Chain A
Amino acid sequence: MIKNDMNLLARYQEIHKEKAAQYSANKIYAVILLVLFLVIGAYSLKLFLDNNMLKGEVNDLQAYVESPNVIARMNEIATLQDNIKKLDEMAAEVGSINEVLKTAVRFDSNTLNVLFYNRPSNVEFQNISFQQGALLVTVTGPRPSDPSNYVLRLQRTDYFKEVTYTGYAYDAGSSQYTTTIRLVMKGRD
């Protein structure tokens, strides 16, 4: 049978050891908490300072870009750019119109002179009609060769783009051959 003797010293040392361990654990906890607070605090402070700094920069930038002077000048530039775009569009539109009108056929005495001065002496005009770039000239002559002579003379002038006729008819009452010549006019260069 084992004999259990009372050992007060051992018991004292045991209790003291437990307390010491307890105190040391509390210290560690406190240190950890302190470090944690410091880290969180420092990081939060950094974020706070960054935030404030950014706020200041944003406010400065906003004040610049939204200043009435800058807005007015930017509006003026936008209007100028818009006007230039509209002027470009206008120039393209009116340019294409002028290109067409510049080369348009013009019917005037020059054409009539060509018709008159190339006419064989015995050929007489009955009617001259101009319609959208083409001329129809009705002439009479006493000989069947008169229409073709006149057409060939007109072709030789090179004044017209095309000179055509499709025949002639003899009128016994007037003893005249009548023909209608079609002439296509050239546009201006």
Chain B
Amino acid sequence: MSISKREALLLFIMGVMAILVVSITFVILPLQRNIETLELQKSQLETRKAVIDATLPLAPSLRNRQEEKLVVVNDELAKIEDPINAAEFERWILPITTKYDMRITSVSLSEPAISTPSGMIILVDEPSYQLKTLVEGYKGEATLPDSAPSSSAQLLKSVYTYSVETTYSRYSALLDEIRQWNNTFMVSSSSYNFSTSLATITIDAYMIHKIEPSSDKDYSGDYVAGGSNGNPDDSDDDWPAK
């Protein structure tokens, strides 16, 4: 069978096209797609490597920073007491009431609850009115509004209330003993009735969990407390009762 030149040309073109289609579809395109995928993978890995190469040398300085910050944070945390329970708090107060021979008449103790710190600072703002503002402006004076630091940070707070019978000077000494703890246990309310010699003291105890406990207070063993408010020595009462 013989074919014409025109048919031969058409067959050739079809053949060439078939070869092109087959080789592009089954060889070139898959290889190109593979290369694109590998290039993307390579670029991602190079980015990761760059990050790693930039990060790894930071390890020593990060270790130093962590240690420095740990010291700072531990110092700040150490200013606040470790969490204690009500029974443990008694080991703080009973030695003082025993020392001053106070008769404890009632005690109310709470377990730690979440709270925010209070500095018990009452803001006092003077009344402001137009003429006062003008006068102050004329005199070049300015009244700044009263302010106090506040915090929304949470910590633990227990409230312990003691009622004791004692003399005024011993009551005063008890307040000083609590003050000398110089910690975050502070008197939030207190009263002394001179006619009944009855004192009440409420202590807000702020506590916080720490990275490293900072208190070395010993709560082991038993403690025997005393206190009868008996035979108060008038010599230690240099203040008149009334």
Contacts and interface: CB of A to CB of B under 8 A. Distances in A.
A62 B52 CA distance: 12
Contact of A54 (B19, B42, B59): B42
B178 A108 contact: yes
Q: Give the dominant DSSP class at B's interface.
A: helix
A51 B66 contact: no
Interface in A97-112: 97-109, 112
Interface residues of B, number: 77
B87 interface: no
Given A25-B8, A80-B62, A48 B189 contact: no
A165 interface: no
B188 A93 contact: no
A127 B194 contact: yes
B59 A127 contact: no
A55 B34 CA distance: 10
A44 B76 contact: no
Interface stretch (B20-28, B90-98, B104-112, B220-228): B20-28
A141 to B, nearest CB: 11
Looking at chain A, what size class is its interface with the partner chain? 35 or more
Contact of A77 (B59, B72, B148, B194): B59
5 A-B pairs closest in CB distance: A61-B45, A133-B120, A47-B31, A96-B151, A54-B38
Given A47-B31, A91-B73, 5 more contacts: A29-B8, A36-B20, A93-B153, A98-B79, A128-B194
Interface of B: 5, 8-9, 12, 15-16, 19-20, 23, 27-28, 31-32, 34-35, 38-39, 41-42, 45-46, 48-49, 52, 55-56, 58-59, 62-63, 65-66, 69-70, 72-73, 76-77, 79-80, 117-122, 124, 146, 148-153, 155, 172-173, 175-176, 178-179, 184, 186-195, 206, 208, 239-240, 242
